[in-house]
Structure 1
Amino acid sequence: MLLEGKKLLVTGVLMDSSIAFHVARLAQEEGAEVVLTSFGRTTKITTAIARRLPRPAPVVELDVSSEEDLAALAGRVGEHVDHLDGVVHSIGFAPQGAFSFMDASWEDVSTAVQISAFSLQALTKAALPLMSAGGSVVGLTFDARYAWPVYDWMGVAKAAFESTNRYLARDLGPRGIRSNLVSAGPVRTTAAKSIPGFEQFEEAWGTRAPLGWDVKDAEPAARAVLALLSDWFPATTGEIVHVDGGYHAVGA
């Protein structure tokens, strides 16, 4: 099996439609042991959704904006596994004000950048005490090379996220740890529904992507995450793998 014996930390499991849920499900099917994170009121939701996985998965508390939670993460995860082979970052948030580019306040923008970009470094640093050579960090992005309709400051945050991945690749490489991203096409998740006008992406993607695109199917992106967590990409780091039906490759 692709991930036989590996121990993974997966963030962002909120609904069974999410990419993170499918990562956790497929990882278990491929032989991995999975620990999930959640925080606050969403912990009950994550715990309930975790029951739909092939096997039970513990849920540990982690708010990536909390220094206390970050400092305690290795200890909390260590109660369930003795080390980590991989970490999946599936975290993003922006206040509604951040979806109006010209009117957004710095308070809204800074929140978007902290939760959606800086958290990749913060999560990785918190998990490092449990990781060793051969480990893999994989995050989820939405192609930040372009100014998308309605995405606004979340797009800027994703650009920072993608840059953070490259710097992590630089600094983790000497430890033998890889850092890569999967740039997924639009998937109808809880996060997507919070973006005003998100249906514009849904309408365009299926018609323009050379391979077509199903906004209800998170599994293709999840499979790419699993591949990057596996030992099959031992010399790949700082990379962004597009799983979008080929949309990124074609012009207007």
Structure 2
Amino acid sequence: MGLLEGRTILVTGVTMHTSIAYSAAQIAQAEGARVIVSNIPRAVGVTRRAVRKLDPVPDVIELDATDAEQLAALPRTLAELGVERLDGLVHAIAYANPERALGGAFLETAWEDVDIALHTSTYSYVSLAKAVQPVLGPDASVVGLTFDATVSWPFYDWMGVAKAGLESANRYLARYLGKDGVRCNLVSAGPLETLAKKAIPGAAGLNDVWGERAPLGWDSSDTTAAGKAIVALLSDWFPATTGEMIHVDGGLHSTGA
């Protein structure tokens, strides 16, 4: 019997087989879950092609987590798939303009670009959880993805600020959903060769930092460890853990110079 046997999980942001969200979906299925995946409308075709490798091929829905109408319709969309109760939600959604909000442009970034980064990468975590709140089971788990924003990183700029907001929002979401038995946690992975990382100018240099300093070493091409951490948090093996950020980074966060 798998860790997620009998559970239904919505995994957002599945784009390519190299994404952390894809790994989470694949491992969740292996652990017995019914998985539904989503992506923004203009990228859903890419998602459908990526998930053909999964067995069984999961249902794919269009979902823009910054669109109030789509969020309001989400419980109905799930009901049309026969989902009356959701046991887990994986938030793998983030965006900042790589030319104006990343790569060293921090002091020149206009509010309009900051607004997009914060809405997409921070506020959508709360708004998506609110959207599915009516169908969340009594021991449901919400899991988001961050890149440890307790420090600054080269080139990460306003995405780092957005992730810091996400980490704070996670603590508040845990506070307000805890009364319903819903757990809210984040996984902070090291640098991985995802589409999101490739969009960050200069991010390849982080591989050298991890290669030199991570006590356990780090394979930037393998999303399995992050996927396993997500699935563990979705399961009932962390029944009293909420408002937490779990590092899956080879231990780099624990080291000094």
- Please classify the TM superposition score into its range, dividing by the shorter chain length: over 0.9
Q: How does 1:120-135 map to 2 (within 5 A)?
A: 120-135=125-140
User: Which moves more between the two structures, 229-238 or 39-48?
Assistant: 39-48
User: Residues 1-252 of structure 1: matches in 2 within 5 Å?
Assistant: 1-80=2-81, 81-96=83-98, 97-99=100-102, 100-252=105-257
Task: State the 1:40 CA deviation.
Answer: 2.1
Instruction: Determine helix, strand or coil for the equivalent of 1:145.
Output: coil
Q: What TM-score, normalized by structure 1, do the two folds share?
A: 0.99
The amino acid across from 1:128 in the alignment is Q
Give the ranges of 4+ consecutive aligned residues of structure 1 lying more than 3 Å apart after TM superposition. Answer: none
Aligned sequence identity (%): 53
| Distance in 1 (alpha carbons) for counterparts of 2:255 and 2:40 | 39
Structure 1 spans left out of the alignment, 5+ residues? none
Once residues 138 and 41 of structure 1 are traced to their aligned partners in structure 2, the CA distance between those partners, rounded to angstroms, is 24
Inter-partner Cα distance in structure 1 for 2:121 and 2:212: 29
SS at match of 2:133: helix
Structure 2 distance, partners of 1:193, 1:73, is 30
Letter in 2 for 1:190: L
- Cα distance in 2, alignment partners of residues 79 and 60 from structure 1: 11
In the TM superposition, what is the alpha-carbon distance from 1:143 to its structure 2 partner?
A: 0.2
1:136-178 Cα offsets, whole Å, 9 max, x none, are: 0000100001111000110000000000000000000000100
Matched residue type, 1:238: G
Q: Which runs of 5+ in 2 are unaligned?
A: none
Query: What is the Cα deviation at residue 38 of structure 1?
Result: 1.3
Of residues 50-59 and 20-29 in structure 1, the stretch that sits farther from structure 2 once superposed is 50-59
User: 2:245 & 2:255 partners in 1: Cα distance?
Assistant: 17
**What root-mean-square deviation, in Å, do the aligned CA atoms of Structure 1 and Structure 2 show?**
0.7
Q: Distance in 1 between matches of 2:134 and 2:211?
A: 42
1:180-238 C-alpha deviation (Å, 9 max, x unpaired): 00000011000000000011111211221000000000000110000000001111000
How many pairs align?
Answer: 252
Whole-Å separation in 1 of the counterparts to 2:194 and 2:174: 28
- TM (norm. structure 2) is 0.97
Aligned AA for 1:162?
E
Distance 2:210 2:20 in 1: 18
